[in-house]
Amino acid sequence: MAHDIVFFLAPDDETAAATRLRGPGEAFESVTCRFIEPDSAIAEWDRYFEEPSAEAPPIEQLLGWAWPEWVTAPLNDGVEVFALPKRLTRALANASSTELEELAGRWTTRLWSEDGDDMTDDDLLAVLQGVARLAVSAVNTGGGLYSWSF
């Protein structure tokens, strides 16, 4: 499980990849959270907007979903930089508050069932709302939305 996760805006994959060693830092508009798996979160969010439902999908269906792509090859240091799919970025940018609330509830339920008391203390709705605000900026500027984790 990743300890520190930063969802951030960058103009392109090359710029996002350059954050690999030190993280995005203050140079990039970002939302931070802790103790989640960014790749599974991104896949779950993407699946939600393609097939909306208040119920979390069975884990087998989630594992079969298209997962985000790395912008840098993974190494043994635990650092990962993913690009959020463009369709997910557009969906988050256009999401209503009701959709974000439903997705946060579903995501919380899944994380609780997997992690129990070890689940993140972050307000997952606030994380999603922050990432949705970043998505609006990404769509408006033509940039990309990324996650960096360690």
pLDDT digits (tens, 9 = 90+) for 13-52: 999 999 999 999 999 999 999 988 899 899 999 999 998 8
Rounded-to-10 torsion of CA 63, 70, 26, 150: 60
Beta-carbon neighbour count of residue 52 at 10 Å? Answer: 12
Rounded-to-integer distance, Cα 38 and Cα 54, Å: 20
Structure token pair of residue 115: 């992690």
| Residue listed under structure tokens 């033509």 | 142
Q: pLDDT for 42-65, tens place per residue?
A: 999 999 999 888 787 788 887 888
CA angle 10, 11, 14 (to 5 degrees): 85
| Residue listed under structure tokens 């256009």 | 94
Average pLDDT of the residues in 72-101 = 94
**What is this structure's pTM?**
0.92
For residue 80, pLDDT over 70 is answered with yes
Q: Provide the CA 57 distance to its chain's centre, in angstroms.
A: 17
For residue 134, pLDDT over 70 is answered with yes
